[in-house]
Amino acid sequence: MAPSSEPSYPTGLVWFRRDLRTTDHAALYRALTQCQQVHCVFVFDHEILNPLARTDRRVEFIRESLQELDGVLRTLSAHPRGGLIVLHAVATEAVPALAHSLGAQAVFANHDDEPQALARDSLVRTRLAIAGRAFHTFKDHTILERSEVLTQTGNPYSVFTPYKNAWLKKVDAFQLKGYTVERHAHRLAPRPLDHCHPVPTLASLGFEATTLSQPRLPTGASGAQQLFDDFLGRIERYDDTRNFPAVKGPSYLSVHLRFGTISPRLLARTAHRLMLDGNPGATTWLSELIWRDFYFQILHHHPHVVDRSFKPAYDAIQWESGPEADALFAAWCEGRTGYPLVDAAMAQINQTGYMHNRLRMVVASFLVKDLGIDWRRGEAYFATHLNDFDLAANNGGWQWASSSGCDAQPYFRIFNPVSQSEKFDPEGKFIRRYLPQLAKLPTAALHAPWRARPLELQEAGVVLGDTYPHPVVDHDSARLRTLQRYAVVKAG
């Protein structure tokens, strides 16, 4: 990662997208080492923002993170007009136009392998090339990407464990080393006077304030570092705590990985070192970082997964449809299924934009295998509501739950929402937090209120069908229907 001896370009432009930090930033490092002066831009892209609801926690997270990024760039540049150029425009038009107005010979950005992003970047590259400008992109969002981990026959992996073993064999100090941006920061250019504007307000972008701060979600690179430092103090216990939603087990860094406010190399480097030292929690956590790379390479090699099953045979499944299915889907979305762990999990995502990973598996299995509803409907709901929504991971997780994806849960394994509740929220702390109407039930009755004795319900103030719904389906009956539904793919 050593810089070239002489800059290749007089002026360069770094286009920030899902990498909202300066530390260990591949594209920024490359620009600073290849250009005599470097400008930086972020575009609030109309094509991304316009379809969103006017209250979106992710837009607020990005905006707050940009405020910090702008301040850091200003400090690094040591110039009163230093900082980030922020535009509210169509990126495919604005980036080439800005490169022209700045006299930039090259634009630098980090890879984004989502299909829409690839199409956007292809158009930008073409428009820049017509004007005689270069467009350079770099790996930054994952540790190993695209075709860096292949089988001995040169094919992409479709099963995680062999992929993980190959990943661990391939990864080395070079892959995990950070980019030393700061030593080249003197090449950051002052912004032109007509671009010396503060980061736009939410209102000027057409959005309203959200519940991002309830509970408080630290934003920006400093917020990510704060969470990481906290996690390192308990990472050794991660393997024991990660499955219990009422316990402070996860790192809570997923949204920061999504928007690049922390370097994945820093996380993997730290976890890898701790793994080599025998830290059990770090070993498990590193595996989850490798899962992330795995799903990105699946998306890269198999883009059809965006709207179809990874395993084509699963597209033959007949999902429930019509008014009754729509009513069941609405009950799932709104946390009215009558299964407390499922409903508490949906309350969590609806109120905070976050859902614990164990609960993501539980509610996905319930939607697909208890309600018989197409996994794509659940995937789309998560895409709208999750702060950390990432197409590759979200798609991979939903296809895993529906058994249609790579290395998926076998179709005949169907989570029982009551036993999952009893196992992973044994004291009912999580359920009581998000379903206060059930808080006074005895713990033994909390996981399946319809089994509670009438006196228990009365003393807890619970009226089934009124203050809390009856179960929308019987799990045992639904399980049999699912096995019949999946019979079309048994041979697969």
Choose the catalytic residue: 15, 332, 398, 400. 398
Cis before 469? omega within 30: no
Residue whose pair of structure tokens reads 């299915």 in the numeric block? 325
CA atoms of 281 and 242, how far apart (whole Å): 9
Domain parsing of the chain, residue ranges: 1-140, 142-177+221-301, 314-486
Annotation says 285 is catalytic: no
Exactly one of 291, 387, 394, 400 is catalytic; name it. Answer: 291
Which DSSP symbol is given to 441? Answer: S
Question: For the structural domain made of 314-486, what CATH number should be given?
Answer: 1.10.579.10
Whole-number pLDDT of residue 7: 83
User: CA angle at residue 398 from 147 to 149, to 5 degrees?
Assistant: 15
1-140 placed in CATH 3.40.50.620: yes
Is residue 398 part of the annotated active site? The answer reads yes
| Local structure of 71: helix, strand or coil | helix
The closest of 224, 395, 368 to 294, measured between CA atoms, is 395
In the residue annotation, 400 being an active-site residue is answered as no
Catalytic member of 145, 148, 236, 357: 357
What the block records as the tokens of 401 is 């739950």
Crossing angle of the two packed helices 220-232 and 57-77, in degrees rounded to 10: 100
The closest alpha carbon to 63, from 196, 201, 198, belongs to 201
The pLDDT value recorded for residue 355 is 97
Q: Give the SS3 label for residue 311.
A: coil
Amino acid 215 reads: P
Q: Determine which one of 279, 375, 379, 387 is catalytic.
A: 375
Choose the catalytic residue: 93, 236, 288, 422: 288
Residue 491 pLDDT: 52
DSSP one-letter code for 186: G
pLDDT number for residue 212? 73
Residue 13 φ then ψ, to 5°: -130, 125
pLDDT recorded at residue 281: 98
Q: How far is CA 150 from CA 263, 304, 417, in A?
A: 24, 19, 37
Domain at 142-177+221-301: CATH code: 1.25.40.80
Catalytic residue among 93, 319, 450, 456: 319
Strand order in the sheet with 9-16: 85-89, 35-45, 9-16, 106-110, 134-138
> Token pair of 61, please?
């997270």
Mean pLDDT by 10 residues, the chain (492 residues): 70 98 98 98 97 95 98 97 98 98 98 97 98 98 98 96 98 96 97 96 95 80 98 98 97 97 98 98 98 97 96 94 98 98 98 96 98 98 97 97 87 93 98 98 98 97 98 97 91 51
Cβ contacts of 453 within 8 Å, gap of 6 or more: 445
